[in-house]
């Protein structure tokens, strides 16, 4: 009788052990980001570039990279922009694109009723380049 009891207890312990090992506890949460060769990748594999000061100061209040906010998200901008150099033209002189009736600009302005024109003429070429590298490239 004692032997049967010992075997029973052994089986119960084995079953509990196996259950613990292979149950949901196995699934580990994926880390938020991984460092790889000095670059940090988010779960979406976007290389997290450090946000340039100029973007924080002039753009971040309305634009998030991944999500729409007051302004549209900036993801895949490189695929959306209608011609090379559009980004530069747009942020420094949106008015000129409106005057020229650039179809992409006009369509994109339907995004929200916010009347905001990107005429950041005070930005120098280095700053525009920094913004381009951060948001588009």
Contact between 92 and 123 under an 8 Å Cβ cutoff? The reply is yes
Give dist(CA 87, CA 93) in Å, integer: 10
- State both tokens at 23: 């149950």
Give dist(CA 14, CA 35) in Å, integer: 39
Residues 72-111: x where in contact with ligand HEC by CB under 6 A, - otherwise, as a string: x----x--x------x--xx----------------xx-x
Contact between 128 and 135 under an 8 Å Cβ cutoff? The reply is no
Closest to ligand HEC by CB, 41 or 120: 120
Q: Which residues contact 56 (CB under 8 A, 6 or more apart)?
A: none
Tell me how far, at minimum, the Cβ of 47 lies from ligand HEC, in Å: 18
Residues 20-59: x where in contact with ligand HEC by CB under 6 A, - otherwise, as a string: --------------------------------------xx
Residue 128 interacts with ligand HEC (CB under 6 A)? no
Give dist(CA 109, CA 66) in Å, integer: 19
Closest to ligand HEC by CB, 102 or 131: 131
Site for ligand HEC, rule CB under 6 A = 58-59, 61-63, 70-72, 77, 80, 87, 90-91, 108-109, 111-112, 114, 116, 118, 120, 131, 135
């Amino acid at each position: 009788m004692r032997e049967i009891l010992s075997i029973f207890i052994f089986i119960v312990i084995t079953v509990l052990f196996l259950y613990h090992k292979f149950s949901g506890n196995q699934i580990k949460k994926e880390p938020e980001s991984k460092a790889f060769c000095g670059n940090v990748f988010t779960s979406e594999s976007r290389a997290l570039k450090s946000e340039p000061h100029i973007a924080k100061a002039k753009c971040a209040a309305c634009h998030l990279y991944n999500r729409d906010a007051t302004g549209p998200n900036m993801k895949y901008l490189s695929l959306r922009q209608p011609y090379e150099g559009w980004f530069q033209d747009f942020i420094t002189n949106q008015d000129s694109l409106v005057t020229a009736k650039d179809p992409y600009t006009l369509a994109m302005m339907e995004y929200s009723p916010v009347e905001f024109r990107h005429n950041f003429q005070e930005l120098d070429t280095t700053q525009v380049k920094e913004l381009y590298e951060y948001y588009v490239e």
